[in-house]
């Protein structure tokens, strides 16, 4: 049975679920158009071959792989924030966990698509399963990512279950019959008996722990794809943990930006307060410090006792990629530390701006890991065609990147139309602690 508190909360989110206003419709049509453009780009790539991308024999992986790492990275936000905070019973998490879980699952659905875009023969994709070799890090990735998607879906579903049941039981909400039927089906007969509550709680605990572990594995495996090779700049023992830290870091950034957006658009000022921004901000600060430390260790050792090819790579990074390097590895690290670290600067907008910079910096950071290394191989690139020497991404690749971002936004918008963007049941559970949560 839904509590009094739950009903009031639900009432507040009813308009979002009942109606879609004109602004939102236009927004969704725009996103859909971007996605359609992406599909057109994909069609061109499939019919004309990978020659339409900026990738060539030396730089065989471009921004598709960067996007792959990036989206997998932000998917980590949910796993960490919702999983860890759930396990540590941090009460303040309650208004933001749904956002975190949405980020996780949506990003996780987009990420692997980008690796598919790099595959020359999509028609043979199933070979990965029927001829899979366990010796190959790509097979590790296939296993890890599919486990991750599965685990995260279960975790998200468990987290949604009580709210789905609440909407099903909420008579005042005016939704079409078929929609209510879907809610009824998805609620799996959950009515909130003590036994059900106990079971759900246990299952969520287990999945929270699992999701954290799986996410660490997925991200390490992803890093190993690079570090198992002999390429200068990739062949690094630090890559596993470095990628995990970078992932959570970027996830925190996306978390803050999404929190800001929903707070503004859905008027959630009452639920998402400065406390949440500061708390996630502090998390981002710690991760910025760790990320900066890993980055520094990695490049220091490459630069100080440099082999010839490390030297070439470092020279390239500090020459052609100078400003990108400064943005990703200096500004992206120092800005969140300053903004969150110094009390005077610690406002919602400031934290959000630094989070945007962090997201950009981390995307660029991945670009600087993937591309310059491939541009400075052991044997110098001797070619007369500029396109085959340096990587220049094409509109095809950018259209598909935009499509990924658009899908992320679209899925989020649709998601928030189906289920309250704030976990109503969790929030209603501890009214006496409300002040502590919202402050």
Partner 1 sequence: MKSLTLNPFPLKEATDGQPKKSSRRDFLKKSLVAGAGVVATGGLIEAYLDTSAAESGEKVKVLTTTGEIVEVDKSQIKYPRISRKESHQGIPGKKFVMVIDLARCKNARACVEGCQKAHHLPKDQEFMKVYLLQDTENTAPYWFPKPCFHCDNPLCVSVCPVGATYKRSDGIVLIDNERCIGCKFCITGCPYSTRVFAWRHYEEFDEDTQPYSPEASSPGVEGTVSKCDFCPDLIRVGKLPYCVTSCPMGVIYFGDIDEDVVTNGAETYQFSKLIRERAGYRYLEILGTRPSVYYLPPVERQFPVDRGFDGLNEEVEKRYESTPYVQKQRRK
- Residue 341's Cβ-side half-sphere holds a number of Cα atoms within 13 Å equal to 11
Asked if 147 touches partner 1 (CB under 8 A), the answer is no
Q: Give the closest residue to 259 by CA, choosing from 382, 79, 421.
A: 421
Selected range binding partner 1 among 106-114, 123-131, 397-405, 426-434, rule: CB under 8 A: 123-131
* Residue 231-260 contact track with partner 1, rule CB under 8 A, x = bound: x--x--------------------------
User: Which of 127, 150, 185, 293 is in the footprint of partner 1 by CB under 8 A?
Assistant: 127
| 297: CB partners within 8 A, 6+ apart | 238
Q: Would you say 48 or 433 has its CB closer to partner 1?
A: 48
Selected range binding partner 1 among 74-82, 133-141, 189-197, 338-346, rule: CB under 8 A: 133-141
Q: Would you say 28 or 52 has its CB closer to partner 1?
A: 52
Whole-number Å distance between alpha carbons of 351 and 407 = 25
Asked if 229 touches partner 1 (CB under 8 A), the answer is yes
Whole-number Å distance between alpha carbons of 28 and 125 = 31
Asked if 315 touches partner 1 (CB under 8 A), the answer is no
Whole-number Å distance between alpha carbons of 161 and 191 = 10
Asked if 44 touches partner 1 (CB under 8 A), the answer is no
Q: Would you say 51 or 414 has its CB closer to partner 1?
A: 51
| 218: CB partners within 8 A, 6+ apart | 72, 141, 144, 145, 147, 148
Binders of partner 1 in range 149-208 (CB under 8 A): none
Asked if 319 touches partner 1 (CB under 8 A), the answer is no
C-alpha distances out from residue 248 to 6, 284, 286, 291, Å: 32, 8, 11, 10
Asked if 305 touches partner 1 (CB under 8 A), the answer is no
Cβ atoms within 10 Å of 267's Cβ, excluding its own? 10
Q: 242: helix, coil or strand?
A: helix
| 382: CB partners within 8 A, 6+ apart | none
Whole-number Å distance between alpha carbons of 400 and 406 = 10
Closest contact distance (angstroms) between CB of 304 and partner 1 is 19
Whole-number Å distance between alpha carbons of 125 and 139 = 12
Asked if 146 touches partner 1 (CB under 8 A), the answer is no
Asked if 353 touches partner 1 (CB under 8 A), the answer is no
Q: Would you say 23 or 133 has its CB closer to partner 1?
A: 133
Closest contact distance (angstroms) between CB of 221 and partner 1 is 13
Closest contact distance (angstroms) between CB of 238 and partner 1 is 19
User: Which of 326, 337, 381, 405 is in the footprint of partner 1 by CB under 8 A?
Assistant: 381
User: Which of 121, 177, 343, 344 is in the footprint of partner 1 by CB under 8 A?
Assistant: 121
Q: Would you say 138 or 338 has its CB closer to partner 1?
A: 138
Local structure of residue 56 (DSSP, 8 states): -
Binders of partner 1 in range 53-72 (CB under 8 A): 55-58, 60-61
Q: Would you say 306 or 413 has its CB closer to partner 1?
A: 306
C-alpha distances out from residue 152 to 78, 83, 142, Å: 9, 10, 15
User: Which of 8, 25, 33, 49 is in the footprint of partner 1 by CB under 8 A?
Assistant: 49
Selected range binding partner 1 among 99-107, 132-140, 193-201, 315-323, rule: CB under 8 A: 132-140
Written in H, E and C, the secondary structure of 152-177 is: HHHHHHHHHHHHHHHHHHCCCCCCCH
Q: 96: helix, coil or strand?
A: coil
Asked if 100 touches partner 1 (CB under 8 A), the answer is no
Q: Give the closest residue to 149 by CA, choosing from 116, 209, 105, 114.
A: 105
User: Which of 135, 171, 349, 432 is in the footprint of partner 1 by CB under 8 A?
Assistant: 135
Asked if 297 touches partner 1 (CB under 8 A), the answer is no
Q: Would you say 49 or 431 has its CB closer to partner 1?
A: 49
Q: What percent helix, strand, coil does the chain show, rounded to 5? A: 75, 0, 25
Closest contact distance (angstroms) between CB of 386 and partner 1 is 10
Task: Note the residues at the interface with partner 1 (CB under 8 A).
Answer: 48-51, 55-58, 60-61, 118-121, 124-125, 127-128, 131-133, 135-139, 142, 225, 228-231, 234, 374, 377-384
């Amino acid at each position: 049975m839904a509590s009094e508190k739950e009903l009031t909360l639900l009432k507040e989110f009813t308009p979002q679920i009942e109606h879609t206003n004109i602004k939102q419709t236009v927004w969704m049509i725009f996103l859909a158009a971007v996605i359609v453009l992406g599909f057109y780009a994909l069609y061109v790539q499939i019919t004309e071959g990978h020659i339409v991308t900026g990738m060539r024999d030396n730089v065989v992986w471009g921004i598709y792989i960067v996007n792959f790492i990036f989206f997998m990275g932000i998917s980590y936000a949910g796993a960490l924030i919702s999983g860890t905070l759930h396990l540590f019973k941090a009460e303040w998490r309650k208004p933001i966990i749904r956002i975190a879980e949405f980020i996780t699952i949506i990003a996780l659905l987009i990420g692997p698509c980008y690796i598919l875009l790099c595959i020359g023969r999509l028609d043979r994709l199933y070979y990965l399963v029927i001829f899979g070799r366990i010796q190959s890090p790509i097979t590790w990735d296939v296993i890890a990512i599919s486990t991750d998607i599965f685990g995260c879906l279960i975790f998200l579903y468990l987290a949604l279950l009580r709210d789905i049941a609440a909407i099903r039981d909420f008579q005042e909400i005016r939704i079409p019959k078929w929609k209510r039927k879907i809610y009824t089906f998805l609620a799996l007969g959950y009515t909130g008996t003590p036994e059900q509550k106990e079971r759900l709680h246990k299952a969520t605990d287990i999945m929270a722990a699992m999701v954290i572990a799986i996410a660490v594995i997925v991200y390490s495996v992803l890093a190993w794809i690079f570090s198992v090779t002999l390429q200068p700049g990739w062949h690094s023992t630090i890559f596993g943990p470095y990628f995990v830290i970078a992932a959570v870091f970027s996830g925190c950034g996306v978390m803050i930006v999404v929190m800001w957006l929903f707070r503004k658009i859905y008027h959630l000022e009452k639920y998402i307060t400065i406390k949440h921004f500061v708390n996630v901000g502090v998390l981002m600060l710690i991760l910025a410090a760790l990320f900066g430390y890993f980055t520094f260790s990695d490049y220091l050792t490459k630069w100080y006792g440099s082999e010839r090819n490390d030297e070439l790579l470092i020279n390239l990074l500090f020459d052609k990629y100078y400003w990108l390097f400064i943005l990703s590895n200096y500004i992206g690290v120092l800005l969140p530390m300053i903004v969150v670290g110094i009390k005077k600067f610690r406002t919602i907008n400031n934290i959000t701006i630094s989070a945007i910079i962090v997201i950009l910096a981390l995307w660029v950071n991945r670009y600087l890991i993937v591309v310059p290394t491939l541009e400075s191989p052991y044997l110098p690139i001797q070619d007369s065609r500029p396109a085959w020497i340096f990587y220049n991404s094409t509109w095809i690749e950018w259209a598909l990147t935009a499509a990924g971002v658009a899908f992320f936004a679209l899925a989020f918008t649709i998601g928030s139309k189906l289920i309250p963007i704030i976990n109503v049941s969790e929030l209603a559970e501890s009214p006496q602690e409300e002040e502590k949560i919202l402050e």
